[in-house]
Amino acid sequence: MDLLKPVSSRFIRHVLLLTCVLTVVIGLSIGCDGVKISHFHENGVVASVSPIASQVGEQIFRQGGNAFDAAVGVGFALAVVHPQAGNLGGGGFALARDGGNGHIIALDFREKAPLASTEDMYLDNGGGVVEDLSSLGALSAGVPGTVAGLHALWKEYGTLPWEDLVTIAAKMADTGFIVDEYLAGSLADYQDQLSVFPETESLLLPGGKVPGVGEQLILSDLAATLYLIAAEGSEAFYNGFIADSIVACMAEHGGLITAEDLQQYQVMWRQPVHFEFDSLDIYSMCPPSSGGIVMGQILKLLEPYDLSRYFPDSPEYMHLFCEASRLAYADRSIHLGDPAYYSIPGRLLSPEYIDERRKLIPVDHAGSSDAIEAGSPLKYESDETTHFSVCDKHGNMVSVTTTLNATYGSKLVVSGAGFLLNNEMDDFSIRPGHPNLYGLIGGEANKIEPGKRMLSSMSPTLVLKDDKPLLVLGSPGGSRIITTVAQAIVGFSRFGLSLEEIVSQPRFHHQWLPDVVYLEEEGFFVDKIQALIKYGYHVQERSKYGDLQLIHITAEGLMHGASDPRRGGAVAGY
Ligand code: GLY
């Protein structure tokens, strides 16, 4: 009997896995636009940028998996179907609530600077910044953390076999998946950059062409890599064939990541940033992400104002939000970095400090930022990170933001292993005062040092009320992630917006430098824009940004979600 048991359970597992893969593949081949706003579910919900990935999560719930199992399956699925930002070669952060004991944890799987990195590695002999060096190709890549991160999450909290969860993605890469209009459009937009490296072109632009909508994209090398990770765990990524391929890629293209860098990579379990806003408990990411602290400052600065008498597009509210953002992002540039390398002041969220800073908010006119080498993020427009939110009937909540940094990261695929490498090194302050891809300025706290984690803006967030799950949310958007999530929370708590309204509301952003309010194009009426200009703001319209993935849990424990209309995402659950 005992001898038969493992055989039969393995058989059942394989039947279940096959069912899952078939369901997802059949669902896709009949064309799955996905549900943007879900109805209520009892068991579990996933919101992500990809209908395919969200469906993977739903199937994992149907097989009895919990929110952590679903998050792992979704994370690997995104590495296949959303190559713009889903990844094996990048990093990220997760905020999670263990429904069993109510503990809330933060998991840091951020990339690290290779050990051979130096402070001036992107500068020429005269101290000038060499164009593209920190953002294109092998030298821009940090040591990846995603595979270790998803494995750590599963090891601590998962219930289904790791092999099964990863194999779903491996099979999708192996048999191919249907290219939707968002991927086809994105590949067309980036065709020139993706053609710079032949290994990238042959993976994502087979035959040198952008795959058409509805075509099948097969990623064989990526499938082999995923099967290896499925069979051997995260070890397979940091030692052996995959690690050797990364090191060979570095040798060929002039990068710095060594076998030692990969072997030494470790995730960090951290204490999340926690603060109260209204009667809500908000948990978000701590350094090396700036997300939790900057969001906490913005919301705490705003808290005493009676915002509910305004609307989300009222100039009065936008003025207050921009001034709070100006103060918080100014602190970001000076005070935040990897806590292992820089001593972060402990009182950035203390009530006394926030009260003191609030006095700097002018009542009826725009403040002014110091104009030191202000950058122009509009020049670049690369905010491709991705976020997914998951929760289940056990009270587990998982909020994951993961990234390659720019869209398709460094644009360099690891030959033979089939995945893109990040260009996360650009998130360091590569020279004091020099703006990064998002126009953010930094200094000493975020300078390049060997083994250091670069400062992030990613803000996976959980909201609880009276110790009960309430919201799981997050977004991509580079420096704009923080204001996107903060505006969602204000929208929920002060303006009483529905989930649909929260993900749809037009966004605005101020980040101290450059001293500009960015407004989403076509989002604001002319009279509102004129009112902001009258306050003294420099206003610029820009393309739509962010991709909120939001789940709300009712007091009865029912779950429903909303996926941002700006991109092709979907909510799935049952
Ligand atoms: N790479 C974007 C961020 O981490 O904020």
Pocket test for ligand 1, best of 108, 382, 427, 483 (most atoms within 8 A of CB): 427
Please compute the mean of the pLDDT values over residues 525-539 and round it to a whole number: 97
pLDDT at 4 over 50: no
Nearest 10 degrees: Cα torsion 319, 321, 322, 323: 80
Query: Ligand 1 test: best mutation among 400, 407, 408, 481, most atoms within 8 Å of CB?
Result: 481
Q: Which atom, in ligand 1's list, is nearest to the CA of 454? A: 4
The Cβ-side half-sphere exposure at 393, using a 13 Å CA radius, reads 12
DSSP 29-72: HT----BSB---BSSEEEEES-HHHHHHHHHHHHTT--HHHHHH
Q: What digits encode the pLDDT tens for the residues 192-225?
A: 999 999 999 999 999 999 999 999 999 999 999 9
**Tens-place pLDDT, residues 385-428:** 999 999 999 999 999 999 999 999 999 999 999 999 999 999 99
Ligand 1, from 405, 428, 440, 545: best to mutate by most atoms within 8 Å of Cβ?
A: 405
* pLDDT value for 436: 82
User: Which string of DSSP letters, residue by residue, matches 260-286?
Assistant: HHHHH---EEEPPEEEEETTEEEEEPP
The pLDDT value given to residue 32:
44
Query: Is 95:104 a contact under the CB 8 Å cutoff?
Result: yes
Radius of gyration of the chain (CA): 22
CA of 26 to the centre of ligand 1 (A): 35
Q: How far apart are CA 348 and CA 336, in angstroms?
A: 10
- pLDDT band for position 289 (cuts 50, 70, 90): very high
Q: Ligand 1: which atom is nearest the Cα of residue 424?
A: 1
Measured in Å, residue 307 CA sits from the centre of ligand 1 at 29
| Atom of ligand 1 at shortest range from CA of 481 | 5
Cα 14 to middle of ligand 1, angstroms: 38
Ligand 1: centre distance to CA 481 (Å) = 9
What are the pocket residues of ligand 1 if the criterion is a CB atom closer than 6 Å to any ligand atom? 385, 403, 405, 424, 427, 456-458, 478
pLDDT score of 495 more than 70: yes
Residue 293 CA to ligand 1 center (angstroms) comes to 15
Mean of the per-residue pLDDT values for the chain? 91
Q: In whole angstroms, what is the distance from residue 298 CA to residue 480 CA?
A: 13
How many residues belong to the chain?
574
The answer to whether 205 and 193 are in contact (CB under 8 A) is no
Half-sphere exposure of 263 (CA within 13 A, CB side): 7
Of 383 and 41, which is predicted with more confidence? 41
Q: Which atom of ligand 1 is nearest to the CA of 457?
A: 5
**Ramachandran angles phi, psi of 16, nearest 5°:** -65, -40
- pLDDT-based confidence at 15, cuts 50/70/90? very low
Q: What is the pLDDT of residue 443?
A: 81
User: Among residues of the chain, what percentage have pLDDT more than 70?
Assistant: 92
> What is the predicted pLDDT for the residue at 33?
57
| Ligand 1 pocket test target in 112, 380, 408, 457 with most atoms within 8 Å of CB | 457
More confident call, 468 vs 6: 468
Strand partners, 104: 97
Ligand 1 mean position, distance from CA 5 (Å):
47
Contacts of 452 (CB under 8 A, 6+ apart): 112, 113, 117, 337, 338, 340, 341, 428
CA of 100 to the centre of ligand 1 (A): 31
Catalytic residue among 146, 200, 385, 483: 385
Residue owning the nearest CA to atom 4 of ligand 1: 456
- If one compares 435 and 164, the residue with the highest pLDDT of the two is 164
> Which atom of ligand 1 is the closest one to the Cα of 403?
1
Kindly state the average pLDDT of the residues 91-111.
Answer: 98
Average the pLDDT over 479-500 and give the result.
Answer: 97
Q: How many angstroms does the Cα of residue 312 sit away from the middle of ligand 1?
A: 26
Q: What percent of the chain has pLDDT over 90?
A: 86
Please give the pLDDT value at position 434: 83
92 alpha carbon to ligand 1 midpoint, in Å?
8
For the stretch 64-92, pLDDT in tens is: 999 999 999 999 999 999 999 999 999 99
Decide which of 16 and 57 is more confident.
57
407 included as an active-site residue: no
Output the residue whose Cα is nearest ligand 1's atom 3.
456
pLDDT in tens, 118-154: 999 999 999 999 999 999 999 999 999 999 999 999 9
Ligand 1 nearest-atom number relative to CA 110:
4
Place of tokens 């209908």: 51
Every domain of the chain and the residues it spans: 1-176+218-574
